[in-house]
Amino acid sequence: MINVLKPYPDAASGAEIIAGTQLWLERAVIGLNLCPFAKSVFVKKQVRYALSAANTADELLAELEHELMHLADTAPNELDTTLLIHPHVMTDFLDFHFFLGEVDALIRNLGFEGVFQIASLHPQYEFAGSAPDDIANFTNRSPYPTLHLLRESSIDRAVAAFPDAEAIFERNIETMERLGHEGWKKLWLS
């Protein structure tokens, strides 16, 4: 589903942003099994792609609040998760990283602590202590800055159904190391 929260400056580029995000979800997240829980909601069409035209942190927080409320008001079997894609704001990873504190505060202020959590995805994602070009960083590198809104109840069910869920992080790093930079580039050919 494409959802433009504000009039998007260019509908064609908006469609390209959504398509690029969907391709990344299919080929990287699902294709490499980086998130073993993603395929189910993707196949059931329970993923919302919310494209933000925000240019400031305050605008993005307002849109995040809107998306959290929408997720809260929608049955999980209809909508399980939302990708809030924001290509024009928080494009610098450090700004994005520090912005996540405001995101957590918003969740607390709305009373959604323990109900929703946000996963952070960014084209420059960098784990603490890693080099910028470390292939492990690519497990969280999306084509555009993205806030992934997740239902805690869905995470709990998925973790209960997935043996050894705490090993996902390590397995993802091993997958990326086997793939390497050349393999990552090949994912996007064709």
pLDDT for the residue numbered 166:
76
* Mean pLDDT computed over every residue of the chain: 92
Instruction: Give the residue carrying structure tokens 């329970």.
Output: 46
Residue 171, amino acid? R
127 is written with which tokens?
């784990």
Domain range list for the chain: 2-187
Mean pLDDT computed over 114-140: 96
Quick check: 144 and 20 in contact, CB under 8 A?
Answer: yes
Predicted confidence band at 118 (pLDDT cuts at 50, 70, 90)? very high
Q: 139-170: string of b/e by CB count within 10 Å (b at 16+)? A: bbbbbbbbbbbbbeebbeebeeeeeeeeebee
Per residue in 48-85, pLDDT (tens digit) is: 999 999 999 999 999 999 999 999 999 999 999 999 99
CA distance 117 to 107: 8
3-state secondary structure labels for all residues of 93-158: HHHHHHHHHHHHHHHHHCCCECCEEEEEECCCCCCCCCCCCCHHHHHHCCCCCEEEEEEHHHHHHH
CA distance 105 to 151: 17
Per residue in 8-17, pLDDT (tens digit) is: 677 668 889 9
Q: Per the confidence metrics, is the pTM higher than 0.75?
A: yes
* pLDDT beyond 70 at 5: no
CA atoms within 13 A on the CB side of 20: 16
